[in-house]
Structure 1
Amino acid sequence: MSRSHPLLLLTGVLIMTACALSLADSPKTYAESPQYADGKFRNPVPKPPEGFAKTLRIAWNFFFNKPAGTMPATALPVATLTRAQLLAAPDRTLWRLGHSTILLKLRGEFWLTDPVFSERASPFQWAGPKRFHAPPISIEELPPIRAVILSHDHYDHLDHAAILALAGKTETFLAPLGVGDRLVDWGVDAAKVQQLDWWQETALEGIRFVATPAQHFSGRSLSDGNSTLWASWVMIDGDTRVYFSGDTGYFDGFKTIGERFGPFDLTLLETGAYDKQWPYVHMLPEQTLQAHLDLRGRWLLPVHNGTFDLSMHAWSDPFERISAAAAQHGVSLTTPVIGTALDIRAPRADTPWWREVPELPVEAVAAGG
């Protein structure tokens, strides 16, 4: 396993195959990007070095020493959605569809982040992290999508089957550099794809979309690490501002984003698949809370949790820890049941629904759940 990608085995998301997925030839814009050097994209602050022995130990523990409680014993509660409900909803409504997949209704159009609808976050549907719950709505039932907004190319954020199913009903795909080339390589019409570097922006239907920095990595096989860029996104609809983190470790970029584009009405911040052993690429919940403060957010909605088993923590731990941190700092937190509608401008505090869901015994985890 490459020393530069210790999480390829850990997350279970990047189940390895020796076959590299092809990318279109690198356009000139790659070389012009400040994030691109020596044929790879990179973070401004280099990743601390990790020895092979530590990487192997973490991977071994992930696969063979999983603690109890990383999966719920039953499917999570989900509010089933219909196209009619979506069409009848008012503007500035949001629905969390699972993991980091968020549907927003803005200016009468629908916008979708990191769509993952497959049973498993994996290159194979017979192995890999399996969903805790079904999506609240199918891709077929979704209304036309004005734009899909992508943060990076990991399997739990870029679902090949979902992209192909969405291609015919989506007008635009917004992606970081290189990720758009993947889509075109998969057969998405190049005219529908816009690729952005950090701090670049575009406007659709009068809404500003800004690709902003994140501290993460990319790759879908052993041989294509960091060949595409990763990003967070700022969405500005008149006087309404939403921030979507994608995947990221905690870094000083949050303060810069907050200074340039805040305050935000709602931050959709990664809170899951974390561990003290890899804080560089995934935030601990307390770091998520600090990122929200740095961004000058008003309400916080924690995402990247409650759908896949991608770490060593209990599946409900992200909700418990972010709830405690938010209460300690007086931060307004919303944790809606998957599929329920949320008013972006006036979110609500939710009951701790996750406490009513049983946890899966460790014996079942060892047997494959």
Structure 2
Amino acid sequence: MQILLILVVLIVVGGFLYMFHPRFGTNASGERLTLMEGKPNFKNGSFDNLEPTPALAEGTTYSDIMLSFFKKRERNVPKDLIPVVKSNLHALPLDSNVYVWFGHSSYFMQLDGKRILVDPVFSKYATPVRISVRAFNSTYDYTAADIPEVDILFISHDHWDHLDYNTFMQLKGKIKHIVTGIGVGAHLEKWGYPANQITELYWGETAEVAGFSITSTTARHFSGRAFKRNTSLWSSFVLNGSKKIFVGGDSGYGKHFKEIGTQYGPFDFVILENGQYDKMWHYIHMMPEEVVQVAQELQAAYLIPVHSSKFPLANHSWDDPLIRVTTAAHAKHVDIITPQIGQVVSLDSVPETSAWWEGLD
């Protein structure tokens, strides 16, 4: 009994000390916090959504969620290796406008002679505890070494599957500028990124960065890397260059999408989160059919779905997001782009992609 008690104490103390690791980042303070306190949806130390957004759907409890993760999950993780195209991003002609997906919400773009990176996570895990949410096995794993010097790095919000400490430490020195939501910069400065390399935006604010006009737009989600939620802002972005691109970030469905489409559309490409959904938390993650509806509301020429094919963060089968979103897109006559991980997709010509997930178990 004494040995068990000692082990429990050691685990509790060890967990408490681990919370001070730099990977957890830090909350805003000083001038940054004062600026946040002046925003209309920042109250009692945290941001809120513009629409009422409960974390769980009506009738759902946290006990229901815990029990669901202990139930047998069918094909939640693929048995086969995820096929990955190994592309040399360093050798891409800088005058080519391209898109390359790394799985989940991480992707690389070249546009108008600039290199852009979004929500890079090259770690094998999407949580601070390296015993859960492990990345799927694949034929090739992209790393920070595969990434050339980046002109703009977007961070949609500070969740572990979008803002990875190890990746950011490995990318340091390659990043010229970071664009993110207000409050996220506190984490980055703690990790050694200079303040003059970080632009933090509130919804509706616009900045000129590397020759682009970038506007922060609303998302319906939440933030937080530890126990307290919503201490920094979650965002989507409008990237205005020779192509107009919507960088979606995590979001549940809401009226904000139609408003963004009306104010900033039409878009050449909309990159929308499609995966890790469940009816139990449908306010903060869209269902695939809603993703297609949003592409229409944003007046998109092409839809590119992300947020799948790397981490098992929900109970659906690993390929369900791609099956459902393509079925819905074809039914609604929405042009959709579904490249393999690592495949270089031209943004200047009609992209050709395939249902690469078919036939995989």
Q: If the length of structure 1 is used for normalisation, what is the TM-score? A: 0.87
Runs of at least 5 residues in structure 1 that lack an aligned partner in the other structure: 1-16, 359-369
Q: Report the CA distance between 1:349 and its aligned residue.
A: 4.3
What is the SS of the residue equivalent to 1:355? coil
Partner of 1:54: 61
Partner of 2:225: 220
Residue in structure 2 matching 1:283, options 281, 286, 305: 286
Deviations 1:329-366 (A, max 9, x none): 111011001111112243424221101212xxxxxxxx
Partner of 1:96: 101
Residue in structure 1 matching 2:41, options 35, 51, 67: 35
Partner of 1:229: 233
The amino acid across from 1:56 in the alignment is S
Q: Distance in 2 between matches of 1:134 and 1:119?
A: 14
How many residues align? The count is 338
Cα distance change, pair 307–49 in 1 and its aligned pair in 2 (3 A): closer
What is the SS of the residue equivalent to 1:145? coil
Q: Distance in 1 between matches of 2:348 and 2:314?
A: 32
Deviations 1:137-165 (A, max 9, x none): 42123211111100001111000111111
Q: Report the CA distance between 1:193 and its aligned residue.
A: 1.0
Partner of 2:260: 257
Q: Report the CA distance between 1:37 and its aligned residue.
A: 1.3
Partner of 1:200: 205
Partner of 1:188: 193
1:156 aligns with 2:164: no
1:356 aligns with 2:353: no
The amino acid across from 1:182 in the alignment is H
Asked whether the equivalents of residues 265 and 345 of structure 1 are also in contact (C-alpha less than 8 Å), the reply is no
Q: Report the CA distance between 1:52 and its aligned residue.
A: 9.5
Q: Distance in 2 between matches of 1:190 and 1:274?
A: 35
Asked whether the equivalents of residues 181 and 202 of structure 2 are also in contact (C-alpha less than 8 Å), the reply is yes
Partner of 2:74: 68
Bigger Rg, structure 1 or 2: 2
Q: CA RMSD in A?
A: 1.9
1:168 aligns with 2:173: yes
What is the SS of the residue equivalent to 1:353? coil
What is the SS of the residue equivalent to 1:226? coil
Asked whether the equivalents of residues 149 and 175 of structure 1 are also in contact (C-alpha less than 8 Å), the reply is yes
Cα distance change, pair 345–40 in 1 and its aligned pair in 2 (3 A): same
- More deviation in 197-206 or 323-332? 197-206
What is the SS of the residue equivalent to 1:277? helix
Runs of at least 5 residues in structure 2 that lack an aligned partner in the other structure: 1-14
Q: Report the CA distance between 1:76 and its aligned residue.
A: 0.6
